[in-house]
Amino acid sequence: MVTGLQANQTFKNQIHCANIEVHRQEAQYYELLHPEVYSKKEQKRITSKLAAVTAQISCNQKTALDVGAGTGNLTGKLLELGYSVTATDISPEMCSILKKKYGAYLSNKLTVINSPIEELSFEQDSFDLISFYSVLHHLPDYVTALHTVCGYLRRGGVIYIDHEASPAYWQNEHKGFTRIIKELYFHSNPIINGFYFQLIRFHVPNIDYTLSDFWHKKEHALNHHAILDVFKSEGFRQYQRIDYYQTATWIPNPLFPIYRLLCKPEMSYWIAKI
């Protein structure tokens, strides 16, 4: 007989294994496969947000923890801002690419740890900034993980959580025409990206994201109320969720201006100061 704890651990292991396998398959293509992350517009937005977050940190000693760092999307920007960065990721392939990209910083500014977040352990008050970009929906228990990580943040520091589905992502728009536009826009993005990949003669690998993106589904979507409760219970003084529209294609989607005009933003980021 399997106990509840054992079943829960099995569930966690399944999600961890799925993430390791998915990122093993896509690591070398990651930045090409994800325009919603690496489009010029999104990269400019992230750079701007990190600068704004940095300005909010009190007595900033420029130490940062980048959780789920991947190939270094935020890590590189944090290094450019003068931070000493501890970058962690469950994927050995992603960590290897990150080290190669930012090898010049490894001797004094960058530490890379290949580990699931649940197995990390740092001293209390170790970091001025902790970042999660496109991470929470990959975690078996993102609420517990967030509670734990809050203890690593110095007083006056900030947690920055970005690229998570907003509460509106899976909601159907009330008006018929608006709902049609939203569905057309969402379904047209992969078609447009597929056309782009054909143009550059890139064969898209067949990757199964079923378990790796566990909390990015209508049946069990990320719960922003639970994230808010974490910040309240951990004694954060300021916290805010901001919703935004993402650019999800390499070639401009002609439906995007109409979608943005009629529909609610599909993505969210959080900034919380303790």
Tell me whether residue 229 is exposed, middle or buried, using C-beta atoms within 10 angstroms of its C-beta: 0 to 12, 13 to 18, 19 or more: middle
* Domain spans of the chain, in order of start: 1-33+166-237+248-274, 38-87+98-106+116-121
**In the prediction, which pLDDT does 147 show?**
97
Write out pLDDT tens, residues 9-33: 889 999 999 999 999 999 999 999 9
Confidence of residue 176 (pLDDT cuts 50, 70, 90): confident
**In the prediction, which pLDDT does 167 show?**
96
Write out pLDDT tens, residues 212-264: 999 999 999 999 999 999 999 999 999 999 999 999 999 999 999 999 999 99
**In the prediction, which pLDDT does 6 show?**
53
**In the prediction, which pLDDT does 154 show?**
97
Query: Does the structure show a pLDDT above 70 at 70?
Result: yes
User: Which H or E element spans position 84?
Assistant: strand 84-89
Contacts of residues 141-145 at CB distance under 8 Å and 24 or more positions apart, as own/partner, are: 141/12, 142/215, 142/222, 142/227, 143/223, 143/226, 143/227, 143/230, 145/117, 145/118
